[in-house]
Structure 1
């Protein structure tokens, strides 16, 4: 499966519903995997690309809301759309509070279901892109040597080259060399941009 492929998981204990949804979603061009229980789905491999789970609400064992909470606890990048024949207002409110894209009632209009799935997948694409950007940014800062990290922190604190040299007990010329390497490795073009990138990395770590 390519990293760009969109996967839709169907989790419904009614096998006939699973088969029908599988045919619909295959026809719409998605990679599809159908499961008859939440436990079976939990054991599946997380796809590399964007993914959405179409969940039934009332299932034996772990129900749909519990499965949604489990996915959140495990930080899985999978959008959630509920499709159930047993919906009620409290359940729908809880599902939406926990981040579900939609809460649909069977029988469902196919266009409404496909639209909800597209919204969920687009959200996941944005999340994946954000995580990829954060990982790349973190990697850039991890490439700094110990001395370069010391210089970086003092630059962020607002110290000038001469002050940094005094703090670290090195020459101002050496500070300039380290500072140039920091700028190159992080991709920052100005001190202000370097500070913004540093703050962004700090937010990622925290």
Structure 2
């Protein structure tokens, strides 16, 4: 049986190792992208069961990316992260939900891995599975 895929997009490479290690320990396969464009390509080519998305990134911000994900009509649950004020996450949650996305929750940086683990566990417990 294949592992559920978690797709991460964040321009902060320092987050890659601890986030990937945590998710892999929980049973996920992880793909980590550092640009919105690469994320879009990977999202279209795969069937992730969850997304971890930074809100503030160069090229395209998370709100634009949330709108794009919503237009794909794949209903992949999303965990939002931001190094900025928690209000960024609150606004992104509202915009994300308005775009038809499933927003599991949000975390501010520096990320506490315990908080991320709880949100990732929600994805596993809810049984979100990619289409066959």
> TM-score, normalised to structure 1's length?
0.53
SS in 1 for 2:56: coil
Give the conservation status (yes or no) of the 8 Å contact 2:104–2:119.
Answer: yes
State yes or no: 1:124 paired with 2:123: no
Bigger-Rg structure (1/2): 1
> TM-score, normalised to structure 2's length?
0.79
Query: 1:123 Cα deviation (Å)?
Result: 6.3
Give the conservation status (yes or no) of the 8 Å contact 1:57–1:63.
Answer: yes
- Give the alignment partner of residue 29 of structure 2, picking from 31, 41, 62: 31
SS in 2 for 1:101: strand
Higher relative contact order (CA 8 A, sep 6+): 2
Larger strand share, 1 or 2 = 2
- Give the alignment partner of residue 92 of structure 1, picking from 89, 94, 111: 89
Distance in 2 of aligned mates of 1:123 and 1:95: 24
* Runs of 4+ with >3 A deviation: none
- Residues paired across the two proteins, number: 123
In structure 2, stretches of 5+ residues that fail to align are 98-102
In structure 1, stretches of 5+ residues that fail to align are 133-206
Distance in 2 of aligned mates of 1:69 and 1:87: 21
Distance in 2 of aligned mates of 1:123 and 1:96: 21
Q: Which residue number in structure 2 is paired with residue 46 of structure 1?
A: 46
The root-mean-square deviation of aligned C-alpha atoms, in Å, is: 2.2
Larger helix share, 1 or 2 = 1
